[in-house]
Structure 1
Amino acid sequence: MLAAGLGLGLCAAGTARAQVDEHALKAAFVYNIAAFSHWQAPAAEALTICLQVDAQLEGAIAGLAGRQLAGRPVKVRWASPVTGCDVLVHGAQTPVVAAAGTLVICDACTLPDGASAIALVREGNRIRFDVDPARARDRGITLSSQLLKLARRVL
């Protein structure tokens, strides 16, 4: 059932036209990607999403605060300092230093970039994502096979 929800959510997001806000779609991708990721380290009470992105994407992702993911409340904050982050979302021009146990998602990067496990990419009028599962594993995170099936490209 979760896989169907992810598939429908990401497929609908991928085919959305200009009437849907691009930043809201990217926020939905971040949420769904986190939902289909498993951290090997013991989970903290909250799932913390840290941001190093432009103001528009920051505002869209901030709207995820207070939602639940796997029974954990979602917290969103600026990534300074970059500690205590379960997910770090950064822009392509932002240098990244992230701790083990942090799923790094880049907005508009080309993988491999040396830091990110997932890249949100614009393909025409679609938002898609590329995945580097080895980078995620190196950080102690397993990405579900359902997520990998929906990726545009898996390295």
Structure 2
Amino acid sequence: MFTISRFSKVLGKAVLTLATGALVVAPLAAQSSDPERLKAAIVFNVLRFVDLPDSGRGPMVFCVSANDPAARSFQAFSGRAVGSRTVSVRTVRNTAFNGCDVVYLGSASSRAVANASASGRLVMGDGRSFIDRGGSVGLVRMGSQIRFEINLDAAAKSNVRISSKLIRLAARVER
């Protein structure tokens, strides 16, 4: 027999389960609707499949232009681990890339990409032609998705090794 007391307990558990589910789903929906946070999450995951020279030393210094719309979203990853290193996010102005292991340029000119490129440094940015301008990894919008492209030659010139697992997932690979 189903009593009112038992019905209240079952209903209470159902409401608690639904409320908990809403708390889990709401942040995911918010993240996916914010393109800058999504971009930052993709970049952070790409870093897991990249080997930088001298990767055993201190934090991985991730530099992003102070006026890039995603700069604030990248800050959320400061202190998180990538392999054996901790990410330290730093905002930079102009060409102050000294000490940076990774530079995220957003939409940048060929000149800016050349200024950021250095041995041991991964250069990332936005746009379909970013890897054509010499960047190693470029994020591109394809419909409602954000994908990435890889320039293996640019990475090799910087002594950066990109995992074959990541290469297989790229929307486009330049050699």
User: TM class by shorter-chain length?
Assistant: 0.7 to 0.9
Q: Which of 88, 92, 95 is the matching residue for 2:103?
A: 88
Contact 2:40–2:73 (CA under 8 A) maintained in structure 1: yes
Pair 1:76–1:19, CA change in 2 (3 A): closer
Q: Which deviates more from structure 2 when the two are superposed, residues 66-75 or residues 139-148?
A: 66-75
User: 2:142 is matched with which residue?
Assistant: 123
- Structure 1: distance between partners of 2:31 and 2:98: 36
Change in Cα spacing, 1:154 to 1:63, as seen in structure 2 (3 Å) is: same
Match of 2:132 in 1: 112
Match of 2:121 among 98, 102, 118: 102
TM-score under structure 1 normalisation? Answer: 0.81
Mapped pair 1:74 → 2:87: yes
What are the superposed Cα offsets for residues 6-39 of structure 1, whole Å, 9 maximum, x if unpaired? xxxxxxxxxx999521111111111111110012
Distance 1:49 1:142 in 2: 17
The answer for unaligned runs of 5 or more in structure 2 is 1-28
SS in 2 for 1:134: helix
Specify which structure has the bigger relative contact order, considering alpha-carbon pairs within 8 angstroms and separated by 6 or more residues: 1
Q: Quick one: structure 1 residues 19 and 34, their matched pair in 2 at CA, closer, same or farther if it must change by over 3 Å? A: closer
Q: Distance in 1 between matches of 2:171 and 2:67?
A: 24
Question: Normalising by the residue count of structure 2, what TM-score does the alignment of the two structures yield?
Answer: 0.72
**Structure 1 pair 79–100 and aligned structure 2 pair: CA distance change class (3 A):** farther
For residues 41-84 of structure 1, the C-alpha deviation after alignment (integer angstroms, 9 at most, x for no partner) is 35321011000264430011111001011121110011342111
Pair 1:24 & 2:37 matched: yes
1:134 aligned to 137, 153, 162, which one? 153
CA RMSD between the two structures: 2.1
Task: Report the secondary structure of 1:91's partner residue.
Answer: coil
Select the structure of larger CA radius of gyration.
2
Find the counterpart in structure 1 of residue 53 from structure 2.
40
Q: Is the deviation greater in 124-133 or in 39-48?
A: 39-48
Number of aligned positions between the proteins: 139
Q: Which amino acid aligns with 1:34?
A: L
Q: Give the structure 2 partner of residue 6 of structure 1.
A: none
Unaligned runs of 5+ in 1: 1-15
Note if contact 1:17-1:125 (Cα within 8 Å) is conserved in structure 2: no
Identity over aligned pairs, percent: 32
